[in-house]
Every structure is written in structure tokens, then in C-alpha cells.
Amino acid sequence: MPLFDSLFNFAGWLSGNSQEAEDLVQETYLKALKGFASFQPGTNFRAWIFRILRNTFLTSRSGLQATRTVPLDDESEEVPAVAVTTATPESLLLGRAGSEEIQSAMDKLPVTYREVLLLCDVEEMSYQDISETVSIPIGTVMSRLSRARRAMREALSEKPQASHRTGAKS
């Protein structure tokens, strides 16, 4: 299935839950198959399918689609691995921080910042592709990305300072 790993990673980071991510990806493929006639050949398929995933996620959060699924088995929830293939300052920072700290910092970001950060730094989409996926101007992509990176740096750098301060008081 095209782009399965990338879609699953993105859904996992957006939802924070691997079972919900599976449901989001499944729903995305279902919607893509049903609406494939609306895909215009020669346009960006990756941006198109990521937009379907994003819209599916937002719809699930807005209450428009109030159906929830119940897991059939008691699997532990695992955070999907970050799938960065090139080293960026953000990927190096994410590699050094623990996955719980990363997930916590990501959860603190507004969805509008989180999705742009993930699409750029994890999925390595161009600003143009992100603009098409999220339906915002490129300038807005760049400003959201800058704010998201700054918020992540601040959130991840607070952890070591807080433990250092508590160690000094003991």
C-alpha cells in the first residue's frame, strides 16, 4: 500500500495512540479508494492522501464523527518511531530526547503546529507540498514551522534544567 508507513507515523503522532492511528490510516485508504475519481492525474498524490488523513483526524476530533472504537485485545500503546532519513537539528534533538519526552512535547503543541512540524521534519515534505496538504499559504507554513520548532526546543530543554535544579536543592 503506497505511503503506509509515512501515513501511520503521521497518524500516530497526531493522535498519540497506535490503535487510533491504525483506524485513521484504514479510514484514509477507504476514503481515498472511494474518492479516487476526484484525484487529478499529474497532481501530488502524496499531498492528496495526507490531506485525506489530516481531514479524517480533524473530523474525529471535532465531534462531527462521534464513533469510537474499542480495542479487541489489550495491547500496550507504543509510540511510533520517528522515520527521519536525514539528520536535521530537530531530528538530532529528537534522537537524544526520550520518546516519552518527545510525545509529551508534541502533545503540548497545537495541532496546527504539530502537523506542519511532522510533515516537514519527519515526512520531509516540501513547503509547497505542506501548503497543499494543509490548505494554507507557504508563508503560513514557514511561520507555523518556526513556532513549532521553537516550542519543541523550549519544551525539550526544560526537562534537563528542571532535573538539574531539583538535584541542586537536594
pLDDT above 70: residue 140: yes
- The helices-and-strands tally (H runs, E runs) of the chain is 8, 0
Neighbours of 143 (CB within 10 A): 14
| Residue 28 contacts residue 7 (beta carbons within 8 Å) | yes
Domain boundaries, the chain: 4-62, 89-169
pTM over 0.85: no
Task: Give the pLDDT confidence score for residue 44 in this predicted structure.
Answer: 85
pLDDT above 60: residue 162: no
Q: Which CATH class is domain 89-169?
A: mainly alpha
DSSP code per residue over 49-66: HHHHHHHHHHHHHHTSS-
Mean pLDDT within 78-104: 58
Q: Higher pLDDT residue, 66 or 145? A: 145
Task: Give residue-wise pLDDT tens across range 54-85.
Answer: 889 988 877 544 344 333 344 344 444 444 44
Out of 1.10.150.120, 2.60.40.10, 3.20.20.70, 1.10.1740.10, the CATH code matching 4-62 is 1.10.1740.10
pLDDT-derived band at 116, boundaries 50, 70, 90 = very high
Rounded CA separation 156/160 (Å):
8
Task: Give the pLDDT confidence score for residue 89 in this predicted structure.
Answer: 59
pLDDT above 70: residue 101: yes
| Residue 147 contacts residue 117 (beta carbons within 8 Å) | no
